[in-house]
Amino acid sequence: MKISTKGRYGLRAMVDLAVYSTREHVSLNNIAERQMISVNYLEQVFSVLRNAGLVKSVKGAQGGYILADEPSKIHVGSILRALEGELSVIEYESSECRNMIQACLKEMIWDRMNECLNGMVDSITLEDLANDYRRLNGLDAITYYI
């Protein structure tokens, strides 16, 4: 049960945007540097995020990316689903039950795990993760607005 590199790096990049794009667009180079992810990889990830309507891009010298909405309105679930597809603890094909024990396991384990997983990512927003990021990186103390 693994979230792929795309989902992990994509989520980290979105947290970076939430923290740093409060005033201006952020270039992929800056995200790449801070998050230690290659620019090439970020380009792939951001084309998916842009198609999903989660980020907006601006071309030009001052160009870059910005979140399409407030961090408090973007749920982690939307980001992960855009990058990973439906979130499930088991392979989708095998979710069809061929006997009654499998149907029993589905109801008792897989459906409940999926509900737990999806409920969690849909209750946590990018703002929550951005706040954690600021705290862990000592950005709390900085006064942005004077």
Partner 1 sequence: MKISTRGQYGLEALVYIALNSSAGPVSIRNIASYCNISEAYILQIFLVLRKAGIVSSIRGAQGGYVLSRKPSEINVKQVLEVLEGPLTPVACIVKECEEPCVRYDICSTRLLWEMIRKRLDSLACSITVADLVEHFHAMDAMQNPDYCI
List residues binding partner 1 (CB under 8 A).
1-3, 8, 11-12, 15, 35-36, 76, 87-91, 94, 98-105, 107-110, 112-113, 116-117, 120-121, 124, 129-130, 132-133, 136-137
Task: Give least dist CB 134 to partner 1, A.
Answer: 8
Tell me the two tokens of residue 65. Answer: 């990316």
Distance separating alpha carbons of residues 122 and 77, to the nearest angstrom: 5
Distance separating alpha carbons of residues 32 and 92, to the nearest angstrom: 33
Question: Which of residues 58 and 104 has its CB atom nearest to partner 1 in the complex?
Answer: 104
67 three-state secondary structure: strand
Question: Which of residues 31 and 146 has its CB atom nearest to partner 1 in the complex?
Answer: 31
Question: Which of residues 59 and 128 has its CB atom nearest to partner 1 in the complex?
Answer: 128
Phi-psi sector, 62: left (phi>0), alpha (psi -120 to 50), beta: alpha
